Amino acid sequence: MEISRRVTLAWVAAATASPWTVASVEPAQAQPMGLWKEIDVTPITAGGYGQDPNLVKPTAPWPLTLTQDQRAVLRIAADLILPADSHSPSAGSLPIDAFIDEWVSAPYDQQRRDRVIILSGLAWLDAESNARFSHSFAQASDTERRTIFDSIAYRAKVQPGYERPAFFFARLRGLVMGGFYSLPEGMKDIGYMGNAPMTGDYPGPTQEALAHLHAALAKLDIKSV
């Protein structure tokens, strides 16, 4: 599914505020082991938005950098991380790969760090799949792919030598979920209505909301009016 750069840029901006896209803590000993190889990625040299972006006619000042093969693996992984259910489509059926491509191609510190871990992780998925099953991750069956993910998806079950792949999976899962729940399909999935028009006079916040606000202000030693 192809979507415009303007849409993905707005999507990145929305997902940045999501707790899912906050960087996980890297392993204390992050030395590459086994099949893991830290990719020497090409530095992003394009400029960002600058101090005064044109929000009426936004442009994409940086090029996308992922290959079609890498985006195909992202769609496969997204399907496994968030499969379809009775009321929502799978993440892989939505343009999550476009969102992640926009994210890791952006010229900002967080995105530069994520670019290294995501590209290295995609290469590791192929290496691990070839070592286990003699074919690439894209050629593997869903059962084989889940076997690989099961070795890195659960913190308590990560074996020595798999710390870096596990960190990759945590970042990938965060980006997939951050993208999914920033889309209309994801918002509908959790019942988020967003800004909705209201007819008649605004009734003001509920007493429950006010009580919560006053309690939060009190903890900050701020006097509420």
Q: How confident is the model at residue 56 (pLDDT cuts 50, 70, 90)?
A: confident
What's the confidence (pLDDT) of residue 191? 74
Alpha helix segments (H runs only) across 151-200: 163-180, 184-189
Q: DSSP E strands: which ranges in the chain?
A: none
Q: How confident is the model at residue 175, as a pLDDT?
A: 93
Q: For the chain, give percent helix, strand, coil, nearest 5.
A: 50, 0, 50
Q: Which residue, chain included where needed, has tokens 């099953």? A: 133
Q: Which residues contact 170 (CB under 8 A, 6 or more apart)?
A: 24
Q: Give tens-digit pLDDT for 89-128.
A: 888 999 999 999 999 999 988 899 999 999 999 999 999 9
> Considering the chain, what is the average pLDDT of its residues?
84
How do residues 118-158 score in pLDDT, each as one tens digit? 999 999 999 999 999 999 999 999 999 999 999 999 988 99
Beta-carbon contacts of 75 under 8 Å, excluding residues fewer than 6 positions away, are 92, 96, 97
Cβ pair 26, 167 in contact under 8 A: yes
Q: What is the pLDDT of residues 188-225, one digit of tens each?
A: 877 776 777 778 888 888 899 899 999 988 888 887 77
State how far the alpha carbon of 192 is from the alpha carbons of 20, 90, 96, 182, 196, in Å. Answer: 16, 18, 19, 10, 10
- Copy the structure tokens of residue 20: 């899912």
Token duo for residue 46: 């394009």
- pLDDT band for 7, please (50, 70, 90 cuts): low
Using CA atoms, how far apart are residues 191 and 98, in angstroms rounded to an integer? 24
Domain ranges in the chain are 5-196
**Residue 48 scores a pLDDT above 60:** yes
CA dist 148 and 144 (Å) reads 7
Write out the E strands in 85-164: none
Tell me the pLDDT band of 4, cut-offs 50, 70 and 90.
low
* Amino acid at position 10, single letter: A
